[in-house]
């Protein structure tokens, strides 16, 4: 039984070679690991590899093939890749629009002030909009020079997480 598993930019091939009780023999990109693999409770695992103790926690992601994996001090987004994922990944790529940037609200909040107007040219670092959430005001700034092509909210409006706020078109394609 083998799959491709994606972690950050790495796509590793993982194969289950053998299993006997808690002892598991598995290969990652050809490197074999004999692990003592134990489930503690829902989503929590203890792994001993060459006597090193690893504690991992898995939180289900947005679909059945995605996980957030937490180690002692780090958090990773991991995805199991199968034919379906590959197809979707390819399709998604083609719809990306490179010269445009949509500023979205990272968390729910309220629009305090809109500092720009539609059609206005903005400089890198210029504040576009101020959002208040959890008693903290955050200024959203342009990362590069560009033009405001749309403003999708109004002042004093409540916004949801990921709601689109301002759409910019960048002047040039420089990173």
Helix (H, G, I), strand (E, B) or coil at 88: helix
Binding of another protein by 143 (CB under 8 A): no
Binding of another protein by 160 (CB under 8 A): no
Structural contact between residues 33 and 25, judged by C-beta atoms closer than 8 angstroms = yes
Binding of another protein by 138 (CB under 8 A): yes
Contacting range for another protein; rule: CB under 8 A; set: 50-58, 91-99, 145-153, 162-170: 50-58
Angle at 87 between CA 95 and CA 59, to 5 degrees: 95
Q: How far apart are CA 31 and CA 21, in angstroms?
A: 21
Q: Name which of 60 and 99 has its Cβ closer to another protein.
A: 60
Q: Name which of 47 and 171 has its Cβ closer to another protein.
A: 47
Binding of another protein by 28 (CB under 8 A): yes
Structure tokens at 104: 């979205």
Binding residue for another protein, selected from 34, 58, 104, 147, defined by CB under 8 A: 58
Binding residue for another protein, selected from 17, 54, 119, 162, defined by CB under 8 A: 54
CA distances in angstroms from 49 to 29, 41, 69, 133, listed in the order given = 17, 20, 18, 44
Structural contact between residues 100 and 164, judged by C-beta atoms closer than 8 angstroms = no
Helix (H, G, I), strand (E, B) or coil at 114: strand
CB of 117 to another protein, least distance (A): 16
Nearest to 68 by CA among 7, 3, 2, 4: 7
Contacting range for another protein; rule: CB under 8 A; set: 66-74, 88-96, 143-151, 162-170: 66-74
Binding residue for another protein, selected from 23, 49, 88, 162, defined by CB under 8 A: 49
Residues in binding contact with another protein, number by CB under 8 A: 69
Binding of another protein by 35 (CB under 8 A): yes
């Amino acid at each position: 039984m083998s799959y491709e598993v994606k972690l950050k930019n790495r796509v590793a091939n993982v194969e289950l070679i053998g299993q006997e009780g808690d002892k598991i023999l598995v290969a990652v990109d050809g490197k074999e690991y004999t692990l003592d693999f134990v489930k503690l409770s829902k989503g929590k695992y203890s792994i001993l590899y060459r006597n090193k103790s690893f504690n991992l926690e898995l939180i289900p992601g947005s679909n059945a093939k995605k996980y957030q994996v937490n180690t002692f001090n780090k958090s990773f987004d991991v995805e199991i890749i199968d034919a379906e994922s590959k197809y979707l990944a390819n399709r998604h790529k083609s719809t990306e629009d490179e010269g445009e940037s949509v500023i979205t609200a990272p968390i729910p909040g309220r629009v305090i002030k809109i500092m720009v107007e539609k059609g206005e040219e903005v400089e890198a670092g210029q504040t576009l909009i101020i959002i208040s959430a959890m008693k903290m005001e955050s200024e959203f700034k342009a990362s590069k020079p560009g033009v405001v092509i749309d403003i999708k909210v109004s002042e004093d409006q409540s916004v949801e997480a990921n709601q689109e706020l301002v759409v910019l078109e960048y002047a040039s394609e420089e990173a």
